[in-house]
Structure 1
């Protein structure tokens, strides 16, 4: 893996001319289909984290637990991402289905008296009663009819005032032209679904979506394209510029052309943005959060935890972990480093026993992690002694 390591270092330092030469001089092999095989937790298997951190089961009984949100009363809401999906509410020892018969619900968010739920083909809002933890009838505010194929996660986020919502939608295929403008893009709306505008485009699959603490600056994690070999194209983590174009499908990491696209769009490629943090290729970061709590050591404050769902099209497996990106003065202060590992038995083995998905910071500063491979939610806490 020496060649891979050199390539990744060059990318991280943004030495893009080197990458261009490699991309044009080498006939990149197709990455093999290499999906994980989910197995029960092997005897003796452990999650490895820095000293002082503890991980334990928080809740079980789900099918594909994905995104989480904190309710007005401190309750946890969780989307269960299946074709006949649901939204759960967890409070103390109580665990119940709040909504059922949903089409692959993923992103969830609260604003004022409403709970917003992003299904694959529809964004709906529901009147929500925090005292009884019940929801009224849903109202569709954004239709995504006809967008049920390709990337099917939908992430929703509100700004601090609650007067604008953001909706992230991935592309219809790995590499394709002619998608509707909502796809491979981040959109912005009024809370009732009116006033649609495109914030940023050229984002193959922007799944993680958060604002930096104390600001409305949006950051996103993006799953990049497949089919150019094990080491291309790296996924990435970046701040989102209004009107920004991030390359897909014509180029990647700025102006590096995708050899499979014959249409020329020199104007778009010329302004394609180089992302802030280059991640490992094909690791599929499905969520991240900026840590603002006080339970963890100070070095983690305002830094980003990333949930790596794990590769499924790479010969040597990557991901199945949580990584951490330190921040200083609102900007990344170093590359991603391992924080929690162990769900993957080995890079050359198919067997894994967990797949990190969603992250949620609790009022006490602990973190919840959803795991759709293990069908559970974990709690991560820190104990100084």
Structure 2
């Protein structure tokens, strides 16, 4: 049984931030319901943080987390384990904007709201120097409330890539089930835009549309082996508007979600086509003349890994550590935030093995049973939503239901 947590306000010298100290007599116990491969162990290292999204671990082992709801909370928290007992008992909150993306790189903390990207200068201890005066890097990103998370990544050339999801599921004309010819929404949503990571005051118009046809990408990472950008896509919903083409079972199982490697000008097909994981091909969308079988005339970017519908891959991480067994090196972890109702499987962390910069096998379950319930039941306990690698090579997983952070370590041979 978990020990009770009591919150007391305390003023700490933590780069000038006001902090809350979490008083707990004991370290929270391992999470016994999380299933991991032999030789791995799971511990809860932080809890009750609220609706956390992505997270970043600093070189000295402290943690920054991003919040997606700032009601009675802050948008960012800096977590520290002052007594080195394995539990982060202190959190310092700052930032009054919700959002998802967060990175620590090149002496800065980068953080995104649902319409902008900010950065904060860090001191030698990786603490934010001036929490009240972030530098505004990009502003004016489209935010229509639906699928508005702005996940981002920075490459080795200091270029900033921001995923901008589409608030429209299929770019239909208003009040119609027919798609808008050419889908003008693709000019501002449904893709990835490229900016400079070190240039303040950029607007949406300053960005380059790096890739398009990606309906909503929550997972985005830079692969240090290929020097390219990879994303995981949340697919559209087929709903029940086309019963002449799709059964209820097909609606529940389609379309596939996917892992893509992006290069300049890549097009993953949204909204004109989607990937069918049963026919193993792109299928023309019903709004644009498709019938559930017809292939599009245009060739779209092929997925590297096909993910079942509605798994909601919320984060992507290429593992560069050395503490995990060799099979995990340079491979990709994915956090699945939901489940397939038809398959009754989800709420897990998956792994895709890579060799020479390409997947060398299908995705596999790495950490499972975050739901803590019989598969398909209600009362989900945890939903994996963020991934980060620690300086010791451990994998951190954030949950946005209870605001829990798990640390997965390897101690086997």
TM-score (norm 2): 0.76
Q: Do the aligned partners of residues 72 and 295 (structure 1) sit closer, same or farther apart at CA in structure 2, a change above 3 Å counting?
A: closer
Runs of 4+ in 1 over 6 A off after TM superposition: none
Of residues 188, 197, 209 in structure 1, which corresponds to 2:220?
Answer: 209
- Asked if residue 184 in structure 1 is aligned to residue 190 in structure 2, the reply is yes
Structure 1 residues 372 and 219, CA, compared in 2 at 3 Å: closer, same or farther?
same
Partner of 1:25: none
1:187-336 superposed matches below 5 A: 187-191=193-197, 192=199, 194=202, 195-228=206-239, 229-253=251-275, 255-261=282-288, 270-311=298-339, 314-336=341-363
Distance in 2, Cα, partners of 1:213 & 1:316:
34
Equivalent residue of 1:179, what SS?
A: helix
| Cα pair 2:267 2:300 within 8 Å, conserved | yes
| Deviation of 1:355 (Å) | 0.4
Measure the CA separation in 2 of the matches of 1:75 and 1:60.
15
Conserved? CA contact 1:251–1:269, under 8 Å: no
What SS class does the counterpart of residue 222 from structure 1 fall into?
Answer: strand
Choose the corresponding residue for 2:42, options 55, 66, 70: 55
**Which structure has the higher relative contact order (CA within 8 Å, separation 6+)?**
1
Where does structure 1 lack aligned partners over 5 or more consecutive residues? 1-43
Quick one: distance in 2 between partners of 1:92 and 1:369? 17
Count of paired positions? 337
1:100 and 2:95 aligned: yes
Q: CA deviation at 1:45?
A: 6.3
**Hey, what's the Cα distance between the residues in 2 that align with 1:83 and 1:166?**
25
**Residue in 1 that maps onto 2:379:** 351
Structure 2 CA distance for aligned equivalents of residues 185 and 68 of structure 1: 22
CA shift, 1:148, in A, is: 3.4
Distance 2:318 2:208 in 1: 26
Deviations 1:180-228 (A, max 9, x none): 5231111111121544101100000111111113442111111111125
Q: Secondary structure at the match of 2:338?
A: coil
Instruction: Name the structure 2 match of 1:65.
Output: 52
What RMSD in Å do the two structures reach over aligned CA positions?
2.5
Give the aligned partner of residue 7 of structure 1: none
SS at match of 1:230: helix
Taking a change above 3 Å as real, the CA distance of residues 98 and 255 of structure 1, as seen in their structure-2 partners, is: same
After superposition, the Cα gap between the structure-2 partners of 1:73 and 1:130, relative to the gap in structure 1 and judged at 3 Å, is farther
Instruction: Look at both structures and tell me which one has the larger radius of gyration over its CA atoms.
Output: 2
**1:31 corresponding residue in structure 2:** none
Say which SS state the counterpart of residue 137 (structure 2) adopts: strand
In structure 2, C-alpha distance between the alignment counterparts of 1:322 and 1:339, rounded to whole Å: 6
CA distance in 1, matches of 2:365, 2:142: 39
CA contact (8 A) 2:111 2:117 kept: yes
TM-score by length of 1: 0.81
Change (3 A) 1:83 1:172: farther
Please give the secondary structure, in 2, of the residue aligned with 1:260. Answer: helix
- Of stretches 191-200 and 129-138 in structure 1, the one that deviates more from structure 2 is 129-138
Residues 247 and 269 of structure 1 are in contact (CA less than 8 Å); yes or no, is this contact kept in structure 2?
Answer: no
Match of 1:173 in 2: 168
Q: Deviations over 1:253-292 (max 9, x none)?
A: 26411113359xx9x9503112111011110011121112
Deviation track 1:42-98 (CA, whole Å, cap 9, x = no partner) reads xx9611111111101011131111111233544321111114441111232363234
The answer for unaligned runs of 5 or more in structure 2 is 1-30, 83-88, 172-182, 240-250, 276-280
What secondary structure is seen at the aligned counterpart in 1 of 2:327?
Answer: helix
Residues 269 and 319 of structure 1, relative CA distance in 2, 3 Å threshold: farther
Cα offset, 1:110, TM superposition: 3.4
Asked whether the equivalents of residues 75 and 96 of structure 2 are also in contact (C-alpha less than 8 Å), the reply is yes
